[in-house]
Amino acid sequence: MGTATAKKLDPVLEELVSIVGAGNASDAKHIRYAYSYDLSFVQPKLPDYVAMATTVEQIQEILRMANRRKIPVVPYTGGTNIGGLTIPERGGILLDLKRMNRIIDIDPLDGVAVIEPGVSHAQLASELTKLGLRFGWPVGPPSASVSSCAISHGIGGLNARYGLQSQEITSMEVVLPTGELVRVGSCAIQENAWHSTLPMPKLDGLFKGWLGSTGVVTKLGINVHPAPPLLKIFTVSCDNVADMYSYMLNLSNYEICDDITAVSWWLSQVPIPYPYKPKPDEAAEWNSYATTYSWTEKERDAREEIWQKVVSDEQKKGTSIQITHYPEEALRGRTQLPSQVVGSTKNYCKQGGAGISWPGTFTPAKKWAPVYTRWRETLIKHNLSPSVRMSMYRGVHYGMLRAMIPFNKQSAEETENARQAIVECLRVDLDEGGIPYKPPVDFAKEINARAHPGYLMLLKRVKEFLDPNDIMNPGKLGI
Amino acid sequence: MEWEIPSLKELEHFIWRCTACGTCKVAYDFGPPATCQPICPAGEEFGFEGNMSSKGKIAFARGILDGTLEWDDDFLEAIYKCTVCAGCQSQCQLDHKPYIPEIIEAMRRKAVEDGAGPLPLHKNLTQSLKSYNNPYQGPRRLRTDWMRQFKKEGQPIKNLNKEPAEYLYYVGCTGAFNQQARSVPVATAKIFQNLGLDFGCLGESEICCGSTAMRVGDAGEFKRVAGENLALFKKMKEERGVKTIVTSCAGCYRAIKKDYSLSSDYAQIMDGLEVIHTADLLNRMWKEGKLKFSGDLNMKVTYHDPCHTGRHLNKFQIDKEGKELWPGAYLGMSEEECLYDQPRELLQALPGVELVEMERIRGNSYCCGGGGGVMTGFGEWATKNAGKRISEGMATGADNMVSICPFCHYNLNSGAKQIGSSMKLMDLTELVVQVLEDKG
């Protein structure tokens, strides 16, 4: 069978070919196989077809056809998530959007960029740099999709200043599972106005955090920001997680940083040790880097003065906070973003071998210490490094708490060990009020088991309203 | 003679070091300023993840090894839809990085061993190797056609089968048989003669380096010609006083420097023999004051780094015994042997030449699109790729593009023609020969 030139086409493939053209649709096994797995512990599953769309109209036609035939559709951009989000649960059509990679507009005056779903972080970064603009790049691979990260509540290097990627979304164009084209935000009222999702009802929420199960975002407006020239990185270390939490909380109150992040010793290594190895006694258990950008040297010095005060205050409290040097390669990797060094690449996976997954959560900051302590025990019990990161979000005292867990994917036993450890960690966090983001199906089950019945009812009702035949990335929400 | 050419199974451990993170998909550099460009010709053309960079090829390799993927016509084509340019390798940060081209070629070798590969058009190529000792179905006597003008001009090129010489000029099949690329050996020999270099050629007894066979997975044919060449090199060294093998072909250079080193006898045979590319040799002689220029080329040029004289010569530092990290860990990479600076320095030394760079250069050079058997197997696609590279060159405002590979020479000129560009791909030697100082 294979690509469009085959003689007797499967009727679905035939229709896909008529929509996207020869060469852009396939049911060949080798083509499908490359979409059947990702970095995570999620078991590989093959889609039945792959189609590469290049226009909104093609996506509409594919979704209308899929609805008529009740075939699942899985939207795909970079395939770089670590929760198996694009691994098809029920086969169907893998809708590869990488060729929809136009940066439609960058408006420095409005501070808005309008992009298609296939635009990568590296691609957007190279264009923004030319204009002296920036965005909160995550520590994912440079080829990862800006749009997919944003609609999945991904994080980035400007979290402490501007919030999550999803909070930077200003407008959306979306193809619904039933094929209709809709817009939310200002672009819904005036075609070329992409500046805000407010003051209208925030219908963008229908498409954020749904794991691609409510529609295909075809255009996304995002805030972009002027890039101040002077970078200062505040680095401290300490002996225990409670002291680090205290420092981060204190520093975040002054709102002077773009990113306030701390990583355990294991995560500051390049690469993360796999299997677990004990931290050297002389090494601090926690390291923090906090980035701050300034327009003038005077501003930078003023920010540093505040930071010095925070450190001094923390030391007076009797905490173990010390100004320190963060490992150089890791620091570059975490501040020179997008980066080929961190993310799902060198420091995360290199020693484990192919596998990386996480309990990645939004957790109240006051729970970081107790959760980390339990995670540490659990992970070490599974012979895995407690390679944990904590990042403070903008203006709120909750943030990202996650453990990046590499594992040897060649071994089914080691993969299962990692999965079990990660799910165990997740349960601890959920019970403390944390919520996982970009969750694999295993996590969704744990979330739903704890969810308010009214929430689940509403979730189902909205999903059914938008996707009556349950064709969009079915099975991922665990409902 | 034993050869250590790894099978796909032997590379399985490294195949499993790929996370499928996709860092290999784009040539990205933080800068500042940040730059991002496509790097995979196959990914650009075909688009599916399986076609895309090393992430896709590793998926194919995994599928073969786990028994999910079996050979059929489409799959066979898919593993050959790759220029093996190693652009993806330049981006990767993981332990399989040093082995990426080897993994792709090991898949092809497996296809050949299984009786499925190579592609029918490649079979013509390997059959030609068997019949004619070159991939162009060229009779032996044609191999020396380019030398005729030297004889006519009373300056015949030494035949190393008959006379001794310090330098063996290994011409390569493309320079010898490809009409458009013949200008490369002609220019090279003229320069050598101007320099008074004691050099000779093997004439009709030169045989293919075997690079094309290796690239399409025919390890048997590669070993045959490589073995014969190594024996010939040994003979030239011992009986003709050859000390240096110089080649103006990037493919031959890569083969002799890298592929031949997989032979158990390589170190012993090559002891006392230096292998050098023309660009490197000429750069050296210019720096020593032996190569001098006069005149004015009045030309703005851009430079295309061939994959085989560039990133294919990266030296990888691997923790083989696990003394620093763990057995097989990739520790670092050196570009010391890559010919990036030598041709550029020489170009800038030529009177009246202004060098302007393209965006994708050196380790991130965009392949001409013809390597890895693509020019033979997918001629139209190869030309299309070349057209893209020419367009990139045109965007610099350069009049012409310069390179140091007859294979790139042919493909890029074809690409220029196809897109209606007046830009020409010129070999570095073609420029040098125009401004040689007349030594009377």
Q: Which CATH number fits domain A103-226: 3.30.465.10, 3.90.700.10, 3.40.50.720, 2.60.40.420?
A: 3.30.465.10
pLDDT of residue B382: 98
Closest CB from A33, A340, A351 relative to B91: A340
By CA distance, what is A270's nearest residue in B? B325
Is 50 exceeded by the pLDDT of residue A1?
Answer: no
- Is the CB of residue A84 less than 8 Å away from at least one CB of chain B? no
Confidence of residue A343 (pLDDT cuts 50, 70, 90): low
Interface check B36 vs A, CB under 8 A: yes
Predicted confidence band of residue A7 (pLDDT cuts 50, 70, 90): low
pLDDT tens column, A407-446: 999 999 999 999 999 999 999 999 999 999 999 999 999 9
Within an 8 Å CB–CB cutoff, is residue A43 touching chain B? no
The C-alpha of B337 sits at a distance from chain A's nearest C-alpha, in angstroms, of 24
**Residue-level pLDDT at A335:** 84
Mark yes or no for CB contact A28/B16 under 8 Å. Answer: no
Question: Cβ of A141 and B325 within 8 Å?
Answer: no
User: Measured between CB atoms, does B47 come within 8 Å of chain A?
Assistant: yes
Confidence of residue A349 (pLDDT cuts 50, 70, 90): confident
- A187 Cα to chain B: minimum distance (Å): 29
Contact criterion met (CB < 8 Å) for B93 and A50: no
Strand partners, A49: A93
The answer to whether B92 touches B134, Cβ cutoff 8 Å, is no
- ipTM score: 0.94
The answer to whether the CB atoms of B19 and A354 lie below 8 A apart is yes
Do the domains A11-96 and A230-439 sit in the same CATH topology, yes or no? no
Structural domains in chain B?
Answer: 1-117 (no CATH), 130-287 (3.40.50.1860)
Percent of chain A whose predicted confidence (pLDDT) is above 90: 88
pTM attached to this predicted model:
0.95
> Given an 8 Å threshold on Cβ–Cβ distance, is A129 in contact with B34?
yes
Domain ranges of chain A: 11-96, 103-226, 230-439
| Mean pLDDT (chain B, rounded) | 96
Tell me: pLDDT of A348 over 80: no
Q: Which CATH number is associated with domain A11-96? A: 3.30.43.10
Q: What percent of chain A has pLDDT over 70?
A: 97
Taking residues A121-137, what's their average pLDDT? 96
Mean pLDDT on A228-236? 95
A with B: how many residue pairs have Cβ under 8 Å apart?
144
A96 touches chain B (CB under 8 A): yes
Query: Concatenated DSSP letters for B310-342?
Result: TGGG-EEEEETT-SSSSTTEEEEEE-TTS-SHH
Going by C-alpha positions, the residue among A126, A25, A41 that lies closest to residue A354 is A41
Is pLDDT of B268 > 60?
A: yes
Determine the average pLDDT of the residues in A121-143: 95
Could you give the dihedral angle defined by the CA atoms of residues A182, A185, A188 and A190, in that order, rounded to the nearest 10 degrees?
A: -160
Tell me if A353 and B20 make a contact (CB, 8 A cut-off).
no
Is the model's pLDDT at B71 over the cut of 50? yes
For residue range B188-233, what is the model confidence (pLDDT) as tens digits? 999 999 999 999 999 999 999 999 999 999 999 999 999 999 999 9
Q: Examine the pLDDT at A458 and tell me if it is beyond 80.
A: yes
Q: Nearest CA to CA, how far is B344 from chain A (Å)?
A: 26
**For the residues A74-83, what does the mean pLDDT come to?**
93
Average pLDDT over residues A114-121: 98
Mean pLDDT of chain A: 94
Q: What is the pLDDT of residues A135-170, one digit of tens each?
A: 999 988 999 999 999 999 999 999 999 999 999 999
Interfacial A residues in 326-355 facing B (CB < 8 Å) = 336-341, 343-346, 349-351, 353-355
pLDDT in tens, B98-124: 999 999 999 999 999 999 999 999 999
Does domain A230-439 bear CATH number 3.40.462.10?
yes
Q: How confident is the model at residue A390 (pLDDT cuts 50, 70, 90)?
A: very high
Q: Which residues of A touch B60 (CB under 8 A)?
A: 30, 33-34
Percent of chain B whose pLDDT exceeds 90 = 96
- What HEC string does chain A produce? CCECCCCCCCHHHHHHHHHHCCCCEECCHHHHHCCCCCCCCCCCCCCCEEEECCCHHHHHHHHHHHHHHCCCEEEECCCCCCCCCCCCCCCCEEEECCCCCCEEEEECCCCEEEECCCCEHHHHHHHHHHCCEECCCCCCCCCCEHHHHHHCCCCCCCHHHHCCHHHHEEEEEEECCCCCEEEEEHHHCCCCCCCCCCCCCCHHHHCCCCCCCCCEEEEEEEECEECCCEEEEEEEEECCHHHHHHHHHHHHHCCCCCEEEEEEHHHHCCCCCCCCCCCCCCCCCEEEEEEEEECCHHHHHHHHHHHHHHHHHHHHCCCCCEECCCCHHHHHHHHCCCCCCCCCCHHHHCCCCEEEECCEEEEEHHHHHHHHHHHHHHHHHCCCCCCEEEEECCCCCEEEEEECEEEECCCHHHHHHHHHHHHHHHHHHHHCCCEECCCCHHHHHHHHHHCCHHHHHHHHHHHHHHCCCCCECCCCCCC
All residues of chain A having their beta carbon less than 8 Å from the beta carbon of residue B21 are: 39, 80, 141, 343-345, 349
Nearest CA of chain B to the CA of A406: how many Å? 10
Contacts of B111 in chain A (CB under 8 A): none
Query: What is residue A9's predicted lDDT score, i.e. its pLDDT?
Result: 80
